Chains A and B, each alone.
Chain A
Amino acid sequence: MSPGNEAILEAQALSKHFGGTAALKEVSFSAAAGEILGLIGPNGAGKTTLLNLLSGVLRPTSGKVLFRGRDLTGLKTHAVARMGIARTLQTPRSFPSMTVLENVAVGALFGHPHGRTDGAIKSLDLVGLGERRASPMSSLNLQERKMVELARALAMEPRVVLIDEAMSGLNPTEIEDSMRLIRRVRSQTGVTIIWVEHVVKAIMEVVERIIVLNFGQVIATGSPAEIARNDAVVEAYLGTKA
């Protein structure tokens, strides 16, 4: 966190056990208002579980989530969303019976604290799908469906967006587009972005700070340059040197 910036979202010693297995062990971090925070780690490191705890989809076994100083632990998912934490899913899930605009309008209508719908078109334009507003969801490709999800999240005018793998399954050109888009979203809305990503190269070029998870624990935190040099991180991804 850069000095002088208040923490908008804070995890305090979050643990999550599924049966006897610990998916997350005492994870603590905080995100500063307006920053883009990357969250990386090998498969099964607990990245999606962490997002599920932050968005209220799962309850932590122990620990707390603080949003602007308020304890969110135990709130229902929709209540967390309405307070200003939006979330996109790894595999985009939309409302298939609705048009693109209707999909986004649901976020504006229910996720916005005052139920405003004028933000829907604005956020569709922001992700570059303004022209497709009347199209049915079935006519969209994977990247476009991911963008609709992001637009729906943004239409809620959240303070924090949790993005779960914006890049997986995309080709290099689409990855470039998405990287530019995430930068544009932050500069135009000032929203805090917590971004889980598998495509490490993409995240390194966009985020200010990275948290690395492995086996449910934070093993490193720092700028992309620091993380690239970190031995523990290299080990987690590639294994120990012989």
Chain B
Amino acid sequence: MKKYADLVVVAVVLALVPVLAGGSPYYMRLATLALVYMAWTVAFNLIFGHTKQLFLCLGALAGSAAYMTVVFTKQLELSPWITVPIGVATAAGLGALFSYVSVLRGLGIIFLGIVTLAFSLIFHNLVLGLRQFTNGETGLVSRGLGFPLLEQPMSSYYIFLGVLLVALIVYYLLMASRMGMAVRALSDDELTAELSGINVTWYKVLAAAVASAILGLAGSLYAFYNGIVSPSVFSFVSVDIPVLIALLLGGMRTRLGPIIGAAAFAVIEELVRPFGQLNVLVYGVLLIVLFVAFREGLVPMLRKTLKLSLP
């Protein structure tokens, strides 16, 4: 099982974080949020890193799942064991749909970016418009509706660690299968991949569906953990931008990149907190710098400079 040594290291290190936090609720919340963003970044790595599909609707996908889950739990008084899977399926279905339409219509990376960005706007307006279900800008209180374990800081942390590990295991298994070779080939050259017998459509849609399911699962559970689900929780600025920064910073198409990147982003977020509303400006500048000058990411950089064999 040497192949999965890094997974064990990640699991052990992250499992020890609460000890370092020393029971401080503030740091426990930061660490839990970092886990959510790690899971989201793992998902985005699969969509954008491996299959070059620029989904600019990560918040909207996670948010669709979250709203489906909370609204169904509240309005229909269903168990979260039923509504969380409904949310996950919604996100997976939407992600697969965007991917399928983009392959079918031959949308390039830019047009898929525009289509999914438009969906982000639609989602935001839909949440504001369907006030009777969503309670508009104010948001819905989800406290007490979901799993009791998600009301406690310590148990919540380990639940999200579990979600992250599930996401990582799914990701590792997919990449170790035929799909790993297929997505490497298709991200290099789609026509040559097709001519070699690879069903490019299937692998892109599969990657999008699996990744969107991960986005949705973390989103639905986050909605319960957060105690309130509102448009700002799942906005473009609160989800898509941090995840983009985390993935680019950590390193696309690497196993550890999303983990390291999201952890680094959590630290950056704390550092810029004193700037208040100007933090988005910092993120914008950071994103530009990353795209222009540091597209490789930390993991590939460490591999080169320190001659490490990081996965």
CB distance from B153 to the nearest CB of A (A): 43
- Residues of chain B from 266 to 300 with CB closer than 8 A to chain A in the complex: none
Partner of A106, one of B187, B191, B196, B201: B196
Bound-state Cα–Cα, A79 to B184, Å: 19
Bound-state Cα–Cα, A78 to B190, Å: 11
Please list 21 pairs of residues, one from A and one from B, whose beta carbons are closer than 8 Å in the complex, sorted by A's number.
Answer: A57-B195, A76-B194, A76-B201, A78-B194, A79-B199, A89-B191, A93-B189, A93-B191, A94-B192, A97-B187, A98-B188, A102-B181, A106-B181, A106-B185, A106-B193, A107-B196, A110-B178, A110-B182, A110-B196, A110-B197, A112-B197
Query: How many chain B residues have a CB neighbour from A under 8 Å?
Result: 19
Partner of B197, one of A93, A98, A107: A107
Chain A residues positioned under 8 Å from B194 (CB to CB): 57, 76-78, 81
CB distance from A137 to the nearest CB of B (A): 9
Q: Is A217 an interface residue (CB 8 A)?
A: no
Q: Is A152 an interface residue (CB 8 A)?
A: yes
Chain B residues positioned under 8 Å from A152 (CB to CB): 196
Proximity bits, A20-62, B CB within 8 Å = 1, else 0: 0000000000000000000000000000000000010100000
Chain B residues positioned under 8 Å from A115 (CB to CB): 178
Residue on B nearest A92 in the bound complex, by CB: B192
Bound-state Cα–Cα, A86 to B194, Å: 10
Q: Is B200 an interface residue (CB 8 A)?
A: yes
Chain B residues positioned under 8 Å from A111 (CB to CB): 196-197
Are B191 and A81 neighbours in the complex by a CB distance under 8 Å? Answer: no
Bound-state Cα–Cα, A94 to B184, Å: 12
Are A78 and B192 neighbours in the complex by a CB distance under 8 Å? Answer: no
Chain B residues positioned under 8 Å from A93 (CB to CB): 189, 191-192
Bound-state Cα–Cα, A152 to B192, Å: 10
Chain B residues positioned under 8 Å from A116 (CB to CB): none
Are B192 and A81 neighbours in the complex by a CB distance under 8 Å? Answer: no
Chain B residues positioned under 8 Å from A106 (CB to CB): 181, 185, 193, 196, 198
Residue on A nearest B178 in the bound complex, by CB: A109
Chain A residues positioned under 8 Å from B200 (CB to CB): 78
Main secondary structure of the interface of B (DSSP, over half): helix
Residue on A nearest B253 in the bound complex, by CB: A97
Partner of A95, one of B185, B197, B201: B185
Are A57 and B191 neighbours in the complex by a CB distance under 8 Å? Answer: yes
Q: Is A150 an interface residue (CB 8 A)?
A: no
CB distance from B123 to the nearest CB of A (A): 32
Bound-state Cα–Cα, A77 to B186, Å: 14
CB distance from A39 to the nearest CB of B (A): 18
Given contacts A78-B200, A81-B194, A89-B195, 19 further A-B contacts (CB under 8 A): A57-B195, A77-B194, A78-B195, A78-B196, A78-B197, A81-B196, A81-B197, A87-B195, A89-B192, A95-B188, A96-B189, A98-B184, A105-B181, A106-B198, A107-B197, A109-B181, A110-B182, A110-B197, A156-B196
Are A77 and B184 neighbours in the complex by a CB distance under 8 Å? Answer: no
- Residues of chain B from 178 to 225 with CB closer than 8 A to chain A in the complex: 178, 181-182, 184-185, 187-189, 191-201
Q: Which chain B residues have a beta carbon within 8 Å of chain A's beta carbons? A: 178, 181-182, 184-185, 187-189, 191-201
Proximity bits, A63-107, B CB within 8 Å = 1, else 0: 000000000000011110110001101000111111000100111
Residue on B nearest A77 in the bound complex, by CB: B194
Are A86 and B189 neighbours in the complex by a CB distance under 8 Å? Answer: no
CB distance from B177 to the nearest CB of A (A): 11
Bound-state Cα–Cα, A77 to B189, Å: 14
* A78, A89, A102, A111: residue with the most chain B Cβ atoms closer than 10 Å: A78
* B188, B192, B196, B198: residue with the most chain A Cβ atoms closer than 10 Å: B196
CB distance from B175 to the nearest CB of A (A): 14
Bound-state Cα–Cα, A95 to B191, Å: 11
Are B189 and A110 neighbours in the complex by a CB distance under 8 Å? Answer: no
- Residues of chain A from 100 to 129 with CB closer than 8 A to chain B in the complex: 102, 105-107, 109-112, 115
Bound-state Cα–Cα, A79 to B198, Å: 8
Are A82 and B197 neighbours in the complex by a CB distance under 8 Å? Answer: yes
Bound-state Cα–Cα, A97 to B196, Å: 16
Partner of A97, one of B188, B191, B193: B188
* B181, B185, B187: residue with the most chain A Cβ atoms closer than 10 Å: B185
Chain B residues positioned under 8 Å from A96 (CB to CB): 188-189
Residue on A nearest B198 in the bound complex, by CB: A110
Chain B residues positioned under 8 Å from A76 (CB to CB): 194, 199, 201
Are B195 and A81 neighbours in the complex by a CB distance under 8 Å? Answer: yes
CB distance from A80 to the nearest CB of B (A): 9
Chain A residues positioned under 8 Å from B188 (CB to CB): 94-98
Are A95 and B195 neighbours in the complex by a CB distance under 8 Å? Answer: no
Partner of A86, one of B182, B195, B199: B195
Chain B residues positioned under 8 Å from A95 (CB to CB): 184-185, 188-189, 192-193
Bound-state Cα–Cα, A170 to B189, Å: 24
Chain B residues positioned under 8 Å from A79 (CB to CB): 199
CB distance from A107 to the nearest CB of B (A): 5
Bound-state Cα–Cα, A81 to B200, Å: 13
